[in-house]
């Protein structure tokens, strides 16, 4: 018997396919969510704010203050948007327990100390700076021990770090030696012991080499590839040698050392540089997402997408740096002494750098078209539209007010991330999971969860940053522990943003099964 036609669901029309949000478990070919959402949230999200800004004058405070404040607050909010996924789902938190605890803790200590350190008149000698650099290297080495799917080697870490730190602390308390050199040597010992114990633990037992070659070669090669090469101990050793041999003379050349405020400025500049890398890599990540969803055997090489994204940096340095030097220094007063020499260098080499950097942009565009045509025949609409949107956005810095272009780029970055996290969590928590995460229960009411999260942070950030400055300017600006909340929030942005950058560097990688399962 023929099935009545009334019971057959007609296929959705083309416009419905474009604008309809698919079900969380629906397979979407090539696009991430849907054509309309991808185009408006990924490829051309910057148009939502740049087009209105073009109708306003050039003065940020007089002409488009609210758009500026709202965009900056949205950027601030997005940096916190992935934290519930990490800390309200114990399965996610257990993947990298060390990274999700130690690094945020170190950044929080830096945040708490920075307003006080800013006022210190102390100058740090080269030995102290070398000890701080050794501490950073040791921190990176420790964090690299945290591997997804493997238990944290707490015993190895404790035996390497605790004894060295205890001895250094005791010697420092007793005044037996220069503190900076003591802690430098402690970092060296801890780094060496950590790699040495790792090498011993990963070394196969006697006679196991032959067995590995008889069918377990893959596992053996995996362990061998992660075997330590004592890179970090060698770097710290170089710092020790430099501090012992050249420390006093370098400190004298630095007129007694580097002021603490200068070190804080360097941290801020590093955060800004990391921010630029992070923003560009997110664009790259979306292109690779489309590459992963393509469904064809061939893939466009990663270097082609990276070149398309990063090719603009030399041109920005050659053109924007010299052209808008005063504007840059006005907006980055904290790092002025660090940024000014770089701007002067770009100004000096502009005649050579400008044509070369423009040629690099053209070469990157040609390389993308050639490889995209070779692999996809220029039929992969998501990748092509994302490339077009990103290229147009990047070029805006050359044709419109760079502050407006920056706002549009930051707004686009925030929207991309928030939409991606929403789509990812929508798929992951569409049905109850076996471990019953708190986030899954919260997202049973997605509108209330997301809207409440955004509104609470927006009200807090508007108050902490702008009350008494741009909002109710006749009121006294709020303070906390004798410091204006704007100062606290500035350093919160510096350190919390680095937590965001660090987490996103490994949390959303397309090659991770946990990520690919929900894209």
**Which positions ≥6 away from 338 have C-beta within 8 Å?**
262, 265, 266, 269
CA atoms of 27 and 184, how far apart (whole Å): 55
DSSP-derived 3-state class of residue 148:
coil
Buried b (16+ CB within 10 A) or exposed e, 326-347: eebeeebebbeebbeeebeebe
DSSP-derived 3-state class of residue 258:
strand
pLDDT digits (tens, 9 = 90+) for 127-151: 999 999 999 999 999 999 998 778 8
Other CB atoms within 10 Å distance of the CB of residue 274: 16
What is the sign of the dihedral through the CA atoms of 262, 264, 268 and 270? Answer: positive
DSSP-derived 3-state class of residue 123:
strand
pLDDT at 390: 96
The alpha carbon of residue 396 and the mean position of all alpha carbons in its chain are separated, in whole angstroms, by: 23
- Domain range annotation of the chain: 126-203+223-256
pLDDT at 151: 86
The alpha carbon of residue 40 and the mean position of all alpha carbons in its chain are separated, in whole angstroms, by: 23
Which helix (DSSP H) or strand (DSSP E) does residue 487 occupy?
Answer: helix 485-507
pLDDT digits (tens, 9 = 90+) for 150-204: 888 899 999 999 999 999 999 999 988 899 999 999 999 999 999 998 888 776 6
Q: Do the Cβ atoms of 37 and 419 come closer than 8 Å?
A: yes
Widest pairwise Cα distance in the chain: 97
Q: How far is CA 415 from CA 20, 23, 78, 401, 422, in A?
A: 19, 21, 8, 21, 10
pLDDT at 65: 93
pLDDT at 210: 47
CA atoms of 163 and 170, how far apart (whole Å): 11
pTM of the complete model: 0.86
CA atoms of 383 and 191, how far apart (whole Å): 44
Which helix (DSSP H) or strand (DSSP E) does residue 484 occupy?
Answer: strand 483-484
CA atoms of 126 and 353, how far apart (whole Å): 34
The alpha carbon of residue 263 and the mean position of all alpha carbons in its chain are separated, in whole angstroms, by: 21
CA atoms of 315 and 38, how far apart (whole Å): 28
pLDDT at 220: 38
CA atoms of 519 and 444, how far apart (whole Å): 20
pLDDT at 14: 56
On the CB side of 168, how many CA atoms lie within 13 Å of its CA?
Answer: 21
Burial tier of 432 (Cβ tally within 10 Å: 0-12, 13-18, 19+): exposed
The pLDDT profile of the chain, 519 residues, written as one tens digit per residue, is 444 444 444 445 555 556 678 888 777 888 999 999 999 999 999 999 999 999 999 888 889 999 999 999 999 999 999 999 999 999 999 999 999 999 999 999 999 999 999 988 889 999 999 999 999 999 999 999 998 778 888 999 999 999 999 999 999 999 888 999 999 999 999 999 999 988 887 766 555 554 444 444 443 334 444 545 789 999 999 999 999 998 888 888 888 888 998 899 889 989 999 999 999 999 999 999 998 887 665 688 999 999 999 999 999 888 877 777 777 777 666 556 667 777 777 777 778 888 999 999 999 999 999 999 998 888 899 999 999 999 999 999 999 988 999 999 999 999 999 999 999 999 999 988 999 999 999 999 999 999 999 999 999 999 999 999 889 888 899 999 989 999 999 999 999 999 999 999 899 887 777 777 788
DSSP output for 156-213:
HHHHHHHHHHHHHHHHHHHT-S-HHHHHHHHHHHHHHHHHHHHHHHHSPPTTHHHHHT
CA atoms of 268 and 203, how far apart (whole Å): 41
CA atoms of 138 and 234, how far apart (whole Å): 11
Helix ranges, 11-153 (H): 14-19, 35-38, 47-53, 60-63, 65-78, 83-87, 90-93, 99-117, 126-143
């Amino acid at each position: 018997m023929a099935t009545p036609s009334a019971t057959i669901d007609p296929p959705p029309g083309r416009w419905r396919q474009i604008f309809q949000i698919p079900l969380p478990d629906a397979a979407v070919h090539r696009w991430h969510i849907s054509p309309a959402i991808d185009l408006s949230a990924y490829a051309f999200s910057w148009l939502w704010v740049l087009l209105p800004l073009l109708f306003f004058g050039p003065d940020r405070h007089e002409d488009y203050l609210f758009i500026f404040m709202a965009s900056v607050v949205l950027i601030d909010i997005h940096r916190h948007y992935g934290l519930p996924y990490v800390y309200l789902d114990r399965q996610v938190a257990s993947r990298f327990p060390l990274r999700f605890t130690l690094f945020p803790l170190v950044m929080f200590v830096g945040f708490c100390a920075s307003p006080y350190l800013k006022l210190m008149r102390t100058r740090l000698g080269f030995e102290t700076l070398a000890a701080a650099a050794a501490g950073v290297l040791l921190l990176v080495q420790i964090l690299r021990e945290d591997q997804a799917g493997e238990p944290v080697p707490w015993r190895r870490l404790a035996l390497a770090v605790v004894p060295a730190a205890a001895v250094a602390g005791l010697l420092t308390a007793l005044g037996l030696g220069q503190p900076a050199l003591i802690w430098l040597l402690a970092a060296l010992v801890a780094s060496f012991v950590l790699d040495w114990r790792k090498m011993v633990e990963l070394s196969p037992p006697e006679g196991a080499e032959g067995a590995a070659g008889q069918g377990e070669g893959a596992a053996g090669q995996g362990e061998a590839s992660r075997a330590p090469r004592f890179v970090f101990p060698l770097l710290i050793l170089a710092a020790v040698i430099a501090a012992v041999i050249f420390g006093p003379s370098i400190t004298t050349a630095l007129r007694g050392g580097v002021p603490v405020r200068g070190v804080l400025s360097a941290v801020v500049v590093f955060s800004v540089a990391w921010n630029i890398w992070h923003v560009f890599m997110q664009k790259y990540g979306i292109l690779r997402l489309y590459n992963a969803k393509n469904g064809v055997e061939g893939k466009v090489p990663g270097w082609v997408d990276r070149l398309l994204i990063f090719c603009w940096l030399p041109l920005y340095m050659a053109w924007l740096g010299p052209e808008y030097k005063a504007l840059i220094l006005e907006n980055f007063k904290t790092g002025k002494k660090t940024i000014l020499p770089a701007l002067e260098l770009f100004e000096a080499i502009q005649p050579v750098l400008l044509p070369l950097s423009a040629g690099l942009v053209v070469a990157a565009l040609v390389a993308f078209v050639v490889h995209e045509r070779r692999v996809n025949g220029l039929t992969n609409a998501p990748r092509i539209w994302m490339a077009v949107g990103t290229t147009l956005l990047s070029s805006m810095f050359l044709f419109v007010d760079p502050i407006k272009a920056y706002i549009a780029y930051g707004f686009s970055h925030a929207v991309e991330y928030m939409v991606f996290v929403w789509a990812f969590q929508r798929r992951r928590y569409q049905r109850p999971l076996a471990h019953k995460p708190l986030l899954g229960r919260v997202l049973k009411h997605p509108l209330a969860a997301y809207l409440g999260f955004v509104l609470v942070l927006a009200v807090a950030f508007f108050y902490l940053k702008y009350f008494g400055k741009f909002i109710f300017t006749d009121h006294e600006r709020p303070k906390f522990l004798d410091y204006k909340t704007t100062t606290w929030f500035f350093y919160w942005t510096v350190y919390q943003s680095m937590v965001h950058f660090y987490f996103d560097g490994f949390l959303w990688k397309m090659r991770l099964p946990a990520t690919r399962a929900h894209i």
